[in-house]
Chain A
Amino acid sequence: MTAQTAQQGDLVTVIGLEVHVQLETDTKIFCGCSTEPSDEPNDNVCPVCLGLPGALPVLNEGAVEAAVKIGKAIDADIPEETRFHRKNYYYPDLPKNFQITQYDEPICQDGTLEIAVEGERRTVAIERAHLEEDPGSLQHVGGGGGIDSAEYTLVDYNRAGTPLMEIVTAPDFRSPSEVRAFLAELEEVLEYLGVFDAERDGSLRIDANLSIIPEAEIDGDDTDEIGMDALEAANRTEVKNISSHKGAEKALAYEETRQKNAIQRGRAVEQETRHWDESRGITVSMRSKEEEKDYRYFEEADLPPLRVSGWKDEIAIPELPAARRERFQAEYGLSEEAASKLTSTKQVADFYEDVAGEFDPDLAATWVADNLLGELNYRDIEITEIEGRLEEIKRLVELVADDEITAKNARETVLRSMLDDGRMPDEVVKEDGLGKTGEDEVEQAVVEAIDENPDAVGDYENGDDGAINFLVGQVMQKTGGSADPGDVNQLLRRELEG
């Protein structure tokens, strides 16, 4: 696309993604080394993942199961037969000088994922998802820390061989915010499947292709249909080194503006690879890399083909977030917002259903979505970190449901003390004297207040209605403030007039 004079309003952004997801297995994809992050470099390595001569890869069944689960979740085809290839390139993050990956026969093909962007439903096509091994990690040392100026390179192969799923979408995104919504949904799905740990550093890495084409090339209002010729004609940039939803939105917004500015000024957009520099908030041009034919893909003869299409029926996957959101609204009468909050992770949703099964679903929603998640969020704690204490939280909801404690005390005193001081709910209620006073005790206090204050009683009987407030105050004092003032008022009137 050269010297285009179109106005910005006539241009459309087209984005496609390659998302690399680390699969949460115990061991690497082709050897039995642990995938747990280690403090020591080259701690979880063996002849296979170091690429020593003669070492043979053996596929991890757990990684294949995870891939099949992902395939089911995105409604993809799992072909009868799928196989591995070697992708050759020369860089020290690959000790073998090739990466074992999948080429023309990936394990998942033609899937979809539905997302909601600003209240509107969109279906994103997923062209393929394939298994491969993660490379090792490099540190460029000296010379100011930049890659180009570094004096030498340190290599750690702990990460080498961690199973990765590369998920490739069609160019279906029209804005950086759609990309962000997709990544959030994808991450939720992967967490529900139990194949992904978002907390792990580098567990999600994104490459994005972005090009700007004239709006006239979009056929009709179905944004999925774009003229492929126009897409081919427009130069695209591949933005690498994105590692979060937020980062993706920022990097692509930057790149979108950069390309539109170039076009408006009549300059050509170079077809190139650019590196997202998170700290500076810009993309920078990277040296051009190999073309596809330079990777010299060929079949990995050390790994026999896989025939696992039947696994799709054998491996069960849990109810996915979108379905669960809808069910929560229908079954528990929740608002869309509450249902979204309560299905944000599987742990939260499971806990909500546990609580809602025993108590009022609305009360459960308030407690889990607002009170618990609110207090956890404030403390920057994940629900998974207090998994062992969820029974105690449930007990607290029970105390509120049984009217043994006011909602305000439960939230502001008991819950906070449980989280901050590790106390048990009943312990806080008892020691801090928060229990709502029993009816007998209130009635006793009412009788006492009447007996002890004949003057006020006389005033009331003579028509001074304000005198009742004095008596309410006396009862509240006797019950240590734990009685309900409205109830006390009624009890007093009944007693005085009865």
Chain B
Amino acid sequence: MSDDAVSPEEVRHVADLARVDLDDDEVDRFTEQFADILEYFETLDEVPEVDRETDLTNVMRPDEERPSLESEAALGNAPETEDGYFKGPNVS
């Protein structure tokens, strides 16, 4: 796969959707890396097609309450919290 597979504009757009701010050097670097990553996926073309073993449908659970996490555990991994809330930057 050539480097044309991903354009710098596409990288900027994807970065924008992910709210990631990239400078020009980073855009160049990611353009190359995106292309490399996509190339690895081509390996999958060599995998023979196989059918799924079972056709699962209608996997559901009854509408019954299960215990939730304790607040302390729920917030435990958050870098910042306030009064039981997760706290993050302004996201307008």
Please give the residue numbers on chain A whose beta carbons come within 8 Å of chain B beta carbons, in ascending order: 25-27, 31-34, 40-47, 50, 52, 58-64, 81, 88-92, 138-140, 143, 147-148, 150-157, 287, 290, 294, 303-308
B63 within 8 A of partner (CB): yes
Which of B1-9, B25-33, B40-48, B83-91 is found at the contact surface with chain A?
Answer: B83-91
Once A59-B61, A140-B90, A307-B58 are accepted as A-B contacts, the answer to whether A46 and B69 lie under 8 Å apart by CB is yes
A residues in contact with B75, CB < 8 Å: 42
B61 A42 Cβ-Cβ under 8 A: no
Q: Assuming A42-B86, A61-B61, what are 17 further A-B pairs, CB within 8 angstroms?
A: A26-B65, A32-B67, A40-B71, A45-B74, A46-B68, A59-B60, A61-B60, A81-B57, A91-B91, A92-B88, A138-B91, A140-B90, A147-B92, A152-B88, A156-B86, A157-B86, A304-B58
B66 A153 Cβ-Cβ under 8 A: no
B82 A294 Cβ-Cβ under 8 A: no
B59 within 8 A of partner (CB): yes
A residues in contact with B74, CB < 8 Å: 42, 45, 50, 157
Nearest-neighbor residue (CB-CB) of B89 within chain A:
A152
B49 within 8 A of partner (CB): no
B residues in contact with A88, CB < 8 Å: 17
Say whether chain A's binding surface is mostly helix, strand, loop, or mixed: loop
B92 A60 Cβ-Cβ under 8 A: no
B residues in contact with A89, CB < 8 Å: 17
Q: How large is the interface on B (under 10, 10 to 19, 20 to 34, 35 or more residues)?
A: 20 to 34
Nearest-neighbor residue (CB-CB) of A158 within chain B:
B68
Say whether chain B's binding surface is mostly helix, strand, loop, or mixed: loop
B66 A33 Cβ-Cβ under 8 A: yes
A304 B17 Cβ-Cβ under 8 A: no
B residues in contact with A303, CB < 8 Å: 59
A154 to B77, CA, bound (A): 15
A42 to B19, CA, bound (A): 25
A100 to B75, CA, bound (A): 23
The contact sample of 11 A-B pairs, CB cut-off 8 A, is: A26-B63, A26-B65, A27-B66, A42-B71, A42-B75, A42-B85, A46-B68, A58-B60, A60-B61, A294-B17, A303-B59
A residues in contact with B85, CB < 8 Å: 41-42, 139, 154-156
A294 to B10, CA, bound (A): 11
Once A40-B71, A46-B69, A304-B59 are accepted as A-B contacts, the answer to whether A26 and B64 lie under 8 Å apart by CB is yes
Residue from the list B57, B61, B68, B84 in contact with A307, Cβ < 8 A: B57
A residues in contact with B67, CB < 8 Å: 32
A153 B89 Cβ-Cβ under 8 A: yes
B residues in contact with A46, CB < 8 Å: 66, 68-69
B79 within 8 A of partner (CB): no
B91 A40 Cβ-Cβ under 8 A: no
B63 A153 Cβ-Cβ under 8 A: no
A residues in contact with B59, CB < 8 Å: 58-59, 303-304
B37 within 8 A of partner (CB): no
A residues in contact with B19, CB < 8 Å: 90
- Give the most central of A32, A89, A139: most B CB within 10 Å: A32
A167 to B77, CA, bound (A): 36
- Give the most central of A60, A152, A303: most B CB within 10 Å: A152
Residue from the list A52, A60, A81, A151 in contact with B63, Cβ < 8 A: A60
Residue from the list A60, A140, A294 in contact with B60, Cβ < 8 A: A60
A41 to B69, CA, bound (A): 12
B residues in contact with A26, CB < 8 Å: 63-65
Nearest-neighbor residue (CB-CB) of A311 within chain B:
B58
A residues in contact with B77, CB < 8 Å: 52
Nearest-neighbor residue (CB-CB) of A95 within chain B:
B86
B62 A62 Cβ-Cβ under 8 A: yes
Closest 10 CB pairs of A and B: A32-B66, A62-B63, A154-B85, A304-B56, A155-B86, A61-B60, A41-B84, A148-B92, A147-B92, A150-B90
